[in-house]
Structure formats: structure tokens, C-alpha cells
Structure 1
Amino acid sequence: MNTAGNTTLRNNRPTPPTWRRHALLAAGATAQLFAVGGRWDIAAAAWIFPVLLLRFTRTGRAWSGALWVWAANIAAAAFWLFESEMGFSPVTLGGAVALAALLTLPFLLDRLLTGRLRPWMALLTFPAALAGAEFLITLLSPFGTAYGALAVTQYGNLPLLQVISVTGSYGIGFLIAWCAAVVNRAWEAASWRSVRGSVVTCTAVLLAVVLGGGARLAFAQPGAPAVRIAGVTADASLIRAQKAAIARISGGRREIAAAPPAQLVPALTAVRDSLLAATRREAGAGAKIVVWPEEAVKTLAADEDATIAAARAEARRSRIYLEIGVEVYSTAGPGRDEALLIGPAGTVLWTYQKAHPIPGSEPFAPGDGRVPVAATPYGRLANVICYDADFPGMMRTRADIMLVPSHDWQEYGRAHTEKAALRAIESGYAVARQDAEGVSTAYDHLGQVLATADYFTTGRQTMVAQVPTAGVTTVYDRIGDSFAWGCLVAVVVLIGAALVAPAGPHPRRP
């Protein structure tokens, strides 16, 4: 048994004193709290915590180490729920435990396999497994990349992030995990000579990624002309009055729909009229596309046609493309969360229903997930709603400008909007995300900020941006999730190689 004052050998590896292993676990778990995709993220923490947790698991028993890392992952997910004000419910807590388990598997596989594999194969185990786990989260869970993707922690590092135009967001997780594996190999090495090749290769790849991304940013051609896009939100005082009117009605959504019209309709109409006035103002200033947030206008089912008719009349009067977010209250069901694009002639070009309602908090029936695209004089316009943008596979759409009406809250608005920048880089289109009660931002296809507005710090909740009207075709757009699937295949191959390897640890040198 290992004691605090001795170092023993386990599987031919030195095992540090217990107190030192616990210090590694505590430091790694603490660093991970600041690499969860929330408002308190520190980019460097995402590179530090895998190094420390990997060192912890490699120097102890496999299954007990995995349980401790699972606990650290649960703590990180719970911290994300806390800092983002998501709320603790059976759905969110159950999701946190399940996602934590999936994100623990890369550490367990590394611990079980690396001692039985050749050094170069061992170095690939952790990064391939982590990138594969991030991909599986988007495939199997209802949370998408909202939690569990390390790429979101690197927001603002545009040269590094350009690699996701090839690999998808999973490429960032792979690079971070690969660095952690290389650092741990160097930590274990008896001499520099035995790890020199690994360190030099990893460093060279990272430099190539950053230099290549920098070149992509530096030599990007302005190309197509820009279009003026305005995102508008109703006057904040009217939104507060609307919330108060709704809060006075006891019960759920059906009871709201069944309430006497005089109790609710005046507040709903005031918000609608504020949005129409803001639309008219921005069109007069030169905007050709105006975007309302998700659920910008709330309406009873009986009044839905009149609400849409008012928006159509405004689009026709101002000769603009108008994207409106509508929340419908119905006595027949949970209602709908939808977005409509109205053309300059007043024609409804699409009605899109949110495909990914937030688990546990949005009772709407999901839409079919088909992203609508319309050809316009300002390029191909496409549309999803808020949380839909956390699903990269759905967002891989041939478009020039992606409109993302959204509705967040103060503690999560900025972090959620920043995640939308990844979709712009991956798919090569501009993104205009108008966020009610959050941070609205427009990005170009490189993830560069074109304009931004914070609902809580601006007197007029309006964002105006000059947005390029032509996107680019990225490698990721063409090959999709081939890199992520390749990582999963690599994990299967590595497991097979470990199973047929001779018993006992593989020599650390070829």
C-alpha cells in the first residue's frame, strides 16, 4: 500500500505519495471549473486540467482513479449549471452525471491501454477518445455542444480556432488532449531523448495550426459586398410589463392561453408595436434585413394571424427581409416556438419551428430540424433558433448568412452567443444572433466580431452590422464529421491492439 512518505511501483511506473496524487486531483478539478463553457472560463485552464487529471489517473489504480475523475467531472458540470443559472432539476442533474461519465471514459481508456501499446499509439489514445466523446455528446445527448466541448473555452483565439473549419470543434479537444498526453509522457520519461520526438512533433503541429489559422485570417479576401443587418428587441420597460401581466395568471401555458384577452393582450400588443416601430426605424436607417429575437412577440393562438399580418405589412412597407420570432400560446397544447422570414413583398418565405427545445424547461414539440434556406439579393439566408446552434451537424448548411434569433438570460447570454462563433468558422457563413436578454453579436465566416450589443448595458436594444453577403465553402462543410468518426475508429483500433498485445506493460521505448 502506498503511504504519504513512500513512492512505490505499480505496473512498472512510479507511484507518487498519496498526498501528491490528491493534490493533482484537487488542482485538476479546480482548473476544470474554469473550462466548462461558462461566463467564468479561463482559456489556459482547458490546457492545464487534462494534464493534471491524466497524471492522477496514470499513477493510481484504474477504476478508483476513474471514479475520482468522474466526481471531478460531475463537480465541473454542476459548477457550469450554477454559474450559468441553469437551475438544478432532475433533468439537468441527470444530464450532468451522464455527461460526466462519458467525459471520464477517455481518462479510463488511457489508464487501461497506454501500458499495453507502443508509445506512439499510447499518445493517441487520450486525444482520440476525448474528441470521440465530445462527438458522441452531440449525437446521443440533448445538450449538443452547450456543455462538454473544449473548443468553446478558446473563444477569442481566432488563429487556433480556424482549424475547426477542417475538423469541426472536436479538433480543438484533440489538440488539447494530445498536449496533455505528451506532457505526461515527458513527466514519466527517464531522459529527454526518449520523449524528444513526441514533444517536437506535438509542438510542430500546434505551431502549424496556429500559423495556418493566422494566415487564413491575414489573407482572407473581403470579397462580396456587405448588407446592413439590424437586430432589434422591444423596449425593456414593455418587456417587463409583459412579464408582469403573464405572471399574474396562475397556472401554465394552457391557462395563459385561456385567460381573458383584456388581461393579457394589451401588454402583448405593446411589445409587438415596439418591435414594429424599431423595425421601421432601422429600415429607414438603411437596414435591408431586420431580425427579431426568439419569442420576441408572444401571441395567443387566436391572434397569431393578426400578429403575422402586421409583420408582413411592415416588411412590405419598408421593403426589407424581416425575421420574426414568435411564441404561440394555445389551449390545445404547449404552443410553438417558431421563426418566420418575410420578404420585401410581404410574403412568408418560411416558417421554422425550433428543433431542439431546451431539455427540462421548454415544453414545445420539436420541429423537424430541416434548416430553411432562401436565395435573396443578399446571399443565401438560413435560419435556426437559439439552442439549435449548439448542434454542429444540424448547422452544416450551405448558406451565406445564418440568422439565429435567440433568448437567453444575463448570466448565460454572452457565453452562449460566443459559442455561435464556432458554427460560423466551421461552416463558412456569417452569423447574426439577435439575443433577447443576452448579448447579440454578428460574426463573419472567420469568427470575427462585426458588431455586438449587450441587452443589459445599452439604452436601445439594437445591434447593427455590415455583414458579408457571400460565405465560403470549408473543408468541414465538405467532409462533415469525418475527423470525429476517424477518432472513434482509432479508439476501436487501439482497444483491439491493446487486447492482442502481450500481457504486462509495453516497453516505454521501441
Structure 2
Amino acid sequence: MSLHNSKMKSEYWSYIWLVIGFIFLIFSNGFWNIIPIAAWLAPIFLLRFLRTQNKTKGLVIFAPVYVIAWIIMLYGMFLGIIGYIFAVTYGIIFFIPFLADRFITPKIEGYLSTLVFPSAWVTMELIASFTLFGSLFSLAYTQFGNLPLMQLVSITGIWGISFLIIWFASVVNWAWEQEFSLPKIYKGASLYLGILIFILLFGGAYLTFLPVDSDTVRVASVTRSFDIFPLAKECNKNISCIQGVLNQSLDDFLEHSKQAADAGAKIIVWQEAGIFVFNDDEAGYIRQAREFAMREKVYLVMGIMAISEDESINENKVVLIDPSGHTSEYLKTHLVPGDNHILGDGKVLIQDSPYGKLASVICYDADFPNYVRQAGKANADLMLIPSDDWEAITPLHARMASFRSIENGFSMIRPTFEGLSIAVDYHGNILSQMNDFTTEDVVMIADVPKQGIKTIYSQIGDLFAWLCVLGFLIMVGLSLTRSKGEKI
């Protein structure tokens, strides 16, 4: 075969790898996250395309294709222009690790070069977690359901799983460049496979030999049984009429909470913003809820949206009422882009109880692992997360929250309007779930452990991720000191 024909064949296969990677990427995350293994396969072929192309040409072709894949991945998950902003932003953020691989990896000798891509990826995931986007769309979440692998987050946080997935792509490409010659790749491939097998065996042993072993408490989640907004709209801004609709909503929640209490629930958690209330009426609503909690001898967690009559000031809050009538409040700290609620003080709600130490945040707060770690450090046993989702992020958003349980060693209940209500233990086992879009039920019951466990992650936090950042910066620095063609 002539050199020209050989080059054309190589070019042909290069674009085949790009197409394959593009397809796997779409199904690896976001709205189309239906094939967990796609998250492992997509970066292999995308990396293969870039490494078989001229740097400039390859990156110019790859960048728009990659961003388009993100747009398709997130299509329909967010309304209007926000969806495109999210998609383009994520496309740019996670284009950077590919850029780093293309420019830094060739300057590093041997197997060490396989660490560039995963360390760069984790660096970008960590940076993203400190922005408005939180940990949304971390690769780790694509592996929900793989319980042995998920136990890794009790040590490294979600970053360990993301690193493992991306490192796999880097190792496969390293072996590919050795033409999969066993004598050349044996040690490197064995190292990666050994680590992967060890992690899976560790997770399996963790689940088998340290099973959830604790007395349980019955908890219930309650979500709204009717949509208050069309009814309020019919009031045509008549405040008295709107108050009547809101009063009806409160009565509805108390009625279903009574059903939960009659079923033996000792902790009853309402959805995020379960009831809307004008500021002047809030004290009266809480008084009715206090009377209920004291009468039924339950812990009642109210999800409240307190609003001014002109809706200029909103407080998205949790009010936790114990059986003695004592109340504690928490305001949502992390707002979904576009929300204009008053921000909380950045402190997770923590309260002791006979059923273990309780903690609470609200919905989007749980997308920020470092924030929720406050509860882990405080040795919380049960996390209560009133939530409000929408169909396009169901069940993804609820599944994301379950990783916080494994990270911090607490069980969790997450009542969700227009989404998946879920209860999990501290190993990530699903104890109960209820999808708002497939049932008309509004009460979910679960028996959850009273006692949590201490985890390494709750103590060391994002140390693994920061080590990846350090390693990446060292490799960047070393590559910049090398002249063209010189390897480290």
C-alpha cells in the first residue's frame, strides 16, 4: 500500500472514531443518560480522533462537534436560552482536558502520560463544582446503580469515579499507540486493571461485611396533590382569593401528613416550596403545623415559599418542628440560575433527635458536595432534602443526591414534586421511591436507619480532587520547561 493510501485510510478511521465517540457521548450523560458504559467508551474514541489528527486541524474540527454533542445531551433539560448556556459552558469546560491531553501528553514519557487526561478532567469538575453549576453532570453520576463502584465516593468523593473513567480512556489510547503489543503494555494495563478490580472488590466487601445494621425509624415524604398555580391565576390577583387557594394547599399537606403519621411515620418531610404563603400569614401557617407536630408527636419538616404580596421578596425555606413544638429554620443557600430568593447563611441545618442527628438542605444545595459535607463532619445520621424538579431531570437529579449519602455516611429522604421522591441508606441502597409522573400517590413511606457511619470523605473532603489539581499543575509546569520534542 502506498504512503498516500495509508494516510487516507488512517484519516478515514480517524473520523470513524469521532463519529463513534460522538454517539457514545450523547448517551453517556444528561437527558439521554441510559447507557452507563457509554461514559467509559466515549472518551476513548474522542481521544483517539484527536491523537490521530494534526493538532490544529483536529482541535478545530473537534471543538464544535463536542459542543454540539453537549447541546444534544442536554436538549430539553432546561428551558430556553438557559439550556444552551449550560450546554455550551459544559462543552467548553470539558473541552479543556482534551486540549491538555493534546499539548501536554506528548511531552511526557511512558505510562506517566496517561495521568494527564484524568487529572485535567477532575480539575475541571472540581472547578465547576464551585460555580453556579455545582457538580451537575459529573461523570460519577452516570454510574448510579453500580453499588460496589459507588462506595469509592466514601473515600475520594465523586472525583475518584470520574478519574477512573477518564484514566481508562487514557490507558486504552496509550495501549493503542503500542499497537496493543502485550509485552509493551502488560505492566501498565495490569496496573490499571489491578486498581479497578481492587476498587470493585473493596466496594463489594464493604457492602457484604459492613451491611447497614441499625434500628430504623419510619419516615414519610409528602408532595403536593394538586397544582395551586392555575387556581391562583384564576384569582386574577385578588389577594383574598389567592389566600384561600394557599390555605387549601396547607390543609391538603396536613391531611396527607396525618395519613403518614397514622402509618407510623415519626419524621414527615414535605417537598420544597410545598406551601406558598404570604409573609403576613406565615406565622399562622407555622402555628397550625406546630399544633399538628405536637398532637401527632412527630418531627415535621415544612417546605415553605414565603412571599411578599408583590412577589418581590421570596424566602425558600425549611421549617423543622419537633414534637415539643420547637422550630428551626433553614434558607436555601444555592439557587438555581435565574431564581431570586433570599440566600441562606451557608450553614446546613443540624438538629439532634431521638432518631439520630437530623440535617437538612434544599434541592439544588445537594448538588454541591463540599457544602453538604458540613453534615458529614457533624456526624449527621439522616439528611432531609425537600425538592422540586421537573420531568427532564428525573430521575437524574434524585440519583445525584444519593451520592451525598455514601460520601457522608448518612441516610437520606428526598421528597420531590414533579420528580422522583427517594429514600436511600448510607450505602446507596434504595429503600423507597415514588415517581410523580407515574403515580398519583403523594405519600411515600420508608424505614431508614437511625444511625449513620463515619466516612473518610466526610473528614478529608475533596483531598483526592486537589491532589489531581496539584498533579495536573506539576505536569503543566514541567511540560512548559521542555523544549519542542523533548520528553519528561
Q: TM-score range by the shorter chain?
A: over 0.9
Indicate the residue corresponding to 1:382 in structure 2.
Answer: 359
* Aligned pair partner of 1:22 in 15, 19, 29: 15
TM-score scaled by structure 1?
A: 0.90
Indicate the residue corresponding to 1:32 in structure 2.
Answer: 25
Counterpart CA distance in 2 for 1:156 and 1:390 is: 18
Give the 3-state SS of the residue equivalent to 1:299 in structure 2: strand
Higher mean displacement: 453-462 or 288-297: 453-462
* Aligned pair partner of 1:303 in 273, 281, 293: 281
Counterpart CA distance in 2 for 1:39 and 1:185 is: 29
Counterpart CA distance in 2 for 1:38 and 1:485 is: 29
Indicate the residue corresponding to 2:252 in structure 1.
Answer: 274
* Aligned pair partner of 1:462 in 427, 432, 443: 443
Unaligned segments of structure 2, at least 5 residues: none
Contact 2:111 2:174 in 1 (8 A): no
Unaligned segments of structure 1, at least 5 residues: 9-15, 251-258
- Is 1:206 the equivalent of 2:196? yes
- Is 1:100 the equivalent of 2:91? yes
Equivalences for residues 253-292 of structure 1 within 5 A: 259-292=237-270
* Aligned pair partner of 1:244 in 230, 234, 240: 230
Name the % identity: 34
Counterpart CA distance in 1 for 2:124 and 2:481 is: 24
Task: Show CA shifts across 1:401-425 (max 9, x none).
Answer: 0000000122323111011111111
Give the 3-state SS of the residue equivalent to 1:17 in structure 2: helix
Contact 2:31 2:75 in 1 (8 A): no
Indicate the residue corresponding to 1:503 in structure 2.
Answer: 484
Counterpart CA distance in 1 for 2:359 and 2:221 is: 15
* Aligned pair partner of 2:417 in 430, 436, 451: 436
1:306 partner letter: G
Equivalences for residues 228-243 of structure 1 within 5 A: 228-235=218-225, 239-240=226-227, 242-243=228-229
Counterpart CA distance in 2 for 1:176 and 1:300 is: 48
State the shift of 1:329 in Å: 2.1
Q: Cα RMSD (Å) of the superposition?
A: 2.0
Give the 3-state SS of the residue equivalent to 1:453 in structure 2: strand
Give the 3-state SS of the residue equivalent to 2:101 in structure 1: helix
* Aligned pair partner of 1:87 in 79, 90, 94: 79
Indicate the residue corresponding to 2:164 in structure 1.
Answer: 175
Indicate the residue corresponding to 2:139 in structure 1.
Answer: 150
Counterpart CA distance in 2 for 1:196 and 1:343 is: 60
Query: How has the CA–CA distance of structure 1 residues 193 and 83 changed in structure 2, closer, same or farther, with 3 Å as cutoff?
Result: farther
State the shift of 1:333 in Å: 2.2
Give the 3-state SS of the residue equivalent to 2:276 in structure 1: strand
Task: Show CA shifts across 1:435-476 (max 9, x none).
Answer: 011110101011110111112222321111111011111111
* Aligned pair partner of 1:41 in 34, 37, 48: 34
Contact 1:37 1:152 in 2 (8 A): no
State the shift of 1:502 in Å: 4.6
Task: Show CA shifts across 1:34-67 (max 9, x none).
Answer: 1124354310100010001111111113344334
Give the 3-state SS of the residue equivalent to 1:376 in structure 2: coil
Counterpart CA distance in 2 for 1:63 and 1:425 is: 43
Equivalences for residues 408-423 of structure 1 within 5 A: 408-423=389-404
Counterpart CA distance in 2 for 1:483 and 1:71 is: 31
Give the 3-state SS of the residue equivalent to 2:434 in structure 1: strand
Indicate the residue corresponding to 1:121 in structure 2.
Answer: 112
Give the 3-state SS of the residue equivalent to 2:352 in structure 1: strand
Counterpart CA distance in 2 for 1:81 and 1:302 is: 40
Contact 1:427 1:476 in 2 (8 A): yes
* Aligned pair partner of 2:213 in 223, 230, 236: 223
1:154 partner letter: Q
State the shift of 1:265 in Å: 1.8
Give the 3-state SS of the residue equivalent to 1:195 in structure 2: helix
Query: How has the CA–CA distance of structure 1 residues 40 and 4 changed in structure 2, closer, same or farther, with 3 Å as cutoff?
Result: farther
State the shift of 1:249 in Å: 6.4
Contact 1:28 1:52 in 2 (8 A): yes
Indicate the residue corresponding to 2:52 in structure 1.
Answer: 59
Indicate the residue corresponding to 1:492 in structure 2.
Answer: 473
Counterpart CA distance in 2 for 1:278 and 1:305 is: 21
Task: Show CA shifts across 1:347-396 (max 9, x none).
Answer: 11x21111111102x22132222101001101110000001100000011
1:177 partner letter: I
Task: Show CA shifts across 1:219-241 (max 9, x none).
Answer: 12433211000101232xxx23x
Counterpart CA distance in 2 for 1:456 and 1:332 is: 29
State the shift of 1:501 in Å: 3.2
Counterpart CA distance in 1 for 2:3 and 2:413 is: 57
Task: Show CA shifts across 1:263-309 (max 9, x none).
Answer: 31222111110110111121122110000000101112221111111
- Is 1:134 the equivalent of 2:125? yes
- Is 1:326 the equivalent of 2:304? yes
Counterpart CA distance in 1 for 2:394 and 2:250 is: 23
State the shift of 1:262 in Å: 3.0
Counterpart CA distance in 1 for 2:342 and 2:116 is: 40
State the shift of 1:4 in Å: 8.5
Higher mean displacement: 64-73 or 274-283: 64-73
Give the 3-state SS of the residue equivalent to 1:43 in structure 2: coil
Indicate the residue corresponding to 2:7 in structure 1.
Answer: 7
Counterpart CA distance in 1 for 2:349 and 2:293 is: 19
Contact 2:318 2:329 in 1 (8 A): yes
TM-score scaled by structure 2?
A: 0.94
* Aligned pair partner of 1:406 in 368, 373, 387: 387
Task: Show CA shifts across 1:173-224 (max 9, x none).
Answer: 1001111011101111143211111111111110001110001111124332
Higher mean displacement: 300-309 or 431-440: 300-309
Indicate the residue corresponding to 2:371 in structure 1.
Answer: 394
State the shift of 1:477 in Å: 0.8
State the shift of 1:83 in Å: 4.2
State the shift of 1:3 in Å: 10
Length, aligned pairs only? 481
Equivalences for residues 354-365 of structure 1 within 5 A: 354-360=332-338, 362-365=339-342
2:106 partner letter: G
